[in-house]
């Protein structure tokens, strides 16, 4: 079973088109995410909530991310802070770090880098929640090491691509549930990078070839015209 993550992240950014995909991405990675869209509500949440990491946009309506960070540090709160900002001069970076930020990521940024910065900050802070977020999923005789993108079945070590691992994790976390094409698409790809409609079918084929070999029990079941169901048995299946 996957150890349930208690890692809580507060994301404060007034750009909804960025905040929503980032929230989905972080949630998919196993974090519990709260989002705020202005500095005032973000400050209130940060002050009263128990978070393991704060991701703050620098420029916010009501109160800036810089002001939120400064207030928290004056209150003695040591929660790690990662700034997301278009400000990229040396003076800006120095100002942010002097205000108490732990790291700084300039927009636009790669999602892989954001996730790496998040993991690094949680490790650096010695967060027990980070340790708890690393676990494994097991369904039937298949086991997935989510952190290392490796699965195990019948003594086999199955190396997975990032997307294959994400898809398998999503399936295993929703065993027995009918997952539609739209749900899978929304989970695996943010809106800005959604692929053609046949990408899911192609990814499913690749994953099946890896986790279902020979006489091994079928785990990925096609529900025609609707989507897929994962598990050792399925009512509507191939």
Q: Is residue 41 part of a domain?
A: yes
Distance of CA 66 to the CA centre of its chain: 25
Task: Copy the structure tokens of residue 179.
Answer: 């997952």
Together in a domain, 125 and 156 = no
Pick from 77, 109, 132: which residue ends a domain?
132
Question: What range does the domain containing 12 cover?
Answer: 8-132
Q: Is residue 211 part of a domain?
A: yes
Give the pairing of strands 103-106 and 142-145: unpaired
Task: Copy the structure tokens of residue 45.
Answer: 């949440």
Instruction: Please report, for the domain that includes residue 114, its CATH number.
Output: 3.40.50.2300
Instruction: Please report where in the chains the tokens 């002001």 appear, as a residue.
Output: 67
Please report the DSSP string for 29-61 in residue order.
TT-EEEEESSHHHHHHHHHHS--SEEEEESS-S
Together in a domain, 160 and 195 = yes
Instruction: Please report, for the domain that includes residue 146, its CATH number.
Output: 1.10.10.10
Quickly count: other Cβ atoms within 10 Å of residue 74's Cβ: 9
Per-residue pLDDT of the chain (238 residues; tens, 9 = 90+): 333 346 889 999 988 888 888 888 888 887 889 999 998 999 998 888 888 899 999 888 888 888 999 888 888 888 899 988 887 777 777 777 777 888 888 888 888 788 888 888 887 765 544 444 446 788 888 888 887 889 988 888 899 998 999 999 989 888 888 999 888 888 888 665 667 768 889 999 999 999 999 888 899 999 998 999 998 764 444 3
Query: How many domains, the chain?
Result: 2
H or E element at residue 168: helix 162-173
Together in a domain, 45 and 87 = yes
């Amino acid at each position: 079973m996957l150890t349930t993550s208690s890692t809580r992240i507060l994301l404060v950014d007034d750009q909804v088109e960025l905040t929503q995909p980032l929230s989905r991405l972080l949630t998919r990675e196993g974090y519990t995410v709260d989002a705020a869209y202005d500095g005032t509500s973000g400050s209130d949440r940060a002050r009263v909530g128990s978070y393991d990491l704060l991701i703050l946009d620098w420029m916010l309506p009501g109160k800036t991310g810089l002001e939120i960070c400064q207030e928290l540090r004056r209150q003695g709160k040591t929660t790690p802070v990662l700034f997301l900002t278009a400000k990229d001069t040396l003076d800006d970076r120095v100002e942010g770090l002097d205000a108490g930020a732990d790291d700084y990521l300039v927009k636009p940024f790669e999602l892989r880098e954001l996730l790496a910065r998040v993991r690094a900050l949680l490790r650096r802070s010695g967060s027990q929640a980070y340790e708890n977020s690393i676990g494994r999923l097991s369904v039937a005789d298949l086991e997935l090491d989510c952190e290392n993108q490796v699965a195990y079945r019948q003594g086999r070590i199955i190396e997975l691509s990032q997307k294959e691992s994400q898809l398998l994790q999503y399936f295993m976390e929703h065993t027995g549930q009918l997952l539609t094409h739209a749900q899978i698409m929304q989970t695996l790809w943010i809106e800005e990078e959604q692929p053609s409609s046949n990408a899911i079918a192609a990814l499913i084929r690749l994953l099946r070839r890896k986790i279902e070999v020979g006489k091994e029990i079928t785990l990925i079941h096609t529900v025609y015209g609707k989507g897929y169901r994962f598990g050792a048995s399925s009512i509507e299946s191939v």
